[in-house]
Structure 1
Amino acid sequence: MRARTTVELVALVQRISGLHQQGATHESAAIVRQVAVMITPEDVARLAAMLQQNGPAGSSTYLARSASTGAPEHAAATLAVLRRDGMINEAADLFHTLWSASSAALPALLAALEQSGQSADGQTLLWERASAPAEELAELAQHLKAAGRTADVRHLLRQAAGRPINEVAAIVGALSEETAAELIGELARIRSASDISRFGAAIQGSSELYDTLLFAADDLEESRARSVFTALRTGGLPTELTPRPRSRSRQRR
Structure 2
Amino acid sequence: MALVQRIADLHRGGAVHESAALVGQASLMITPSDLVRLATLLQAEGPAGSSTYLCRSVASGAPEHAAATLAELRRVGLVDEAADLFHTLWAVNSEALPALLAALEQSGQSADGQTLLWERASAPAAELAELTQHLRAAGRSGDVRHLLRQAAGRQTPEVAAIAAALSEDSAVELINELVRIRSASDIGQFAAAIRGQAALYDALLFAVDDLAESPARSAFAALRSAGLRTEPTPRPRSRYRQRR
State the TM-score, normalizing by the size of structure 2: 0.97
Q: Distance in 1 between matches of 2:69 and 2:108?
A: 12
Does 1:233 find its partner at 2:224? yes
Aligned match of 1:195: 186
The question of whether the paired residues in 2 share the 8 Å contact of 1:161 and 1:183 is answered with yes
Q: Pick one of 101, 108, 111 that aligns with 2:99.
A: 108
Q: Pick one of 11, 22, 26 that aligns with 1:35.
A: 26
Shift of 1:249: 2.8
Aligned match of 2:77: 86
Aligned match of 1:49: 40
Matches within 5 A, 1:19-168: 19-168=10-159
CA deviations over 1:106-134 (Å, ceiling 9, x no partner) = 00000000000000000000000000000
The question of whether the paired residues in 2 share the 8 Å contact of 1:134 and 1:174 is answered with yes
Deviant stretches of 4+, over 6 Å = none
Q: Distance in 2 between matches of 1:87 and 1:224?
A: 50
The question of whether the paired residues in 2 share the 8 Å contact of 1:193 and 1:228 is answered with yes
Where in structure 2 are there 5+ consecutive unaligned residues?
none
2:29 is paired with a residue whose SS is: coil
Does 1:210 find its partner at 2:194? no
Where in structure 1 are there 5+ consecutive unaligned residues?
1-9
Aligned match of 1:249: 239
Q: Distance in 1 between matches of 2:237 and 2:159?
A: 26
Compared CA separation, residues 103 and 87, structure 1 to 2 (3 A): same
Q: Distance in 1 between matches of 2:158 and 2:76?
A: 42
The question of whether the paired residues in 2 share the 8 Å contact of 1:215 and 1:252 is answered with no
Shift of 1:239: 0.4
1:37 is paired with a residue whose SS is: helix
CA deviations over 1:41-79 (Å, ceiling 9, x no partner) = 001100000000000010000000001111000000000
Q: Pick one of 5, 8, 15 that aligns with 2:6.
A: 15
Compared CA separation, residues 169 and 20, structure 1 to 2 (3 A): same
CA deviations over 1:80-120 (Å, ceiling 9, x no partner) = 00010110100000000000000000000000000000000
Shift of 1:174: 0.1
Q: Amino acid of the residue matched to residue 193 of structure 1?
A: A
1:93 is paired with a residue whose SS is: helix
Q: Distance in 2 between matches of 1:248 and 1:43?
A: 66
Shift of 1:250: 5.7
The question of whether the paired residues in 2 share the 8 Å contact of 1:165 and 1:195 is answered with yes
> Number of aligned pairs?
243
State the TM-score, normalizing by the size of structure 1: 0.94
Q: Amino acid of the residue matched to residue 136 of structure 2?
A: K
CA RMSD of superposed structures (Å):
1.1
Shift of 1:247: 6.5
Q: Distance in 2 between matches of 1:104 and 1:250?
A: 39
The question of whether the paired residues in 2 share the 8 Å contact of 1:41 and 1:74 is answered with yes
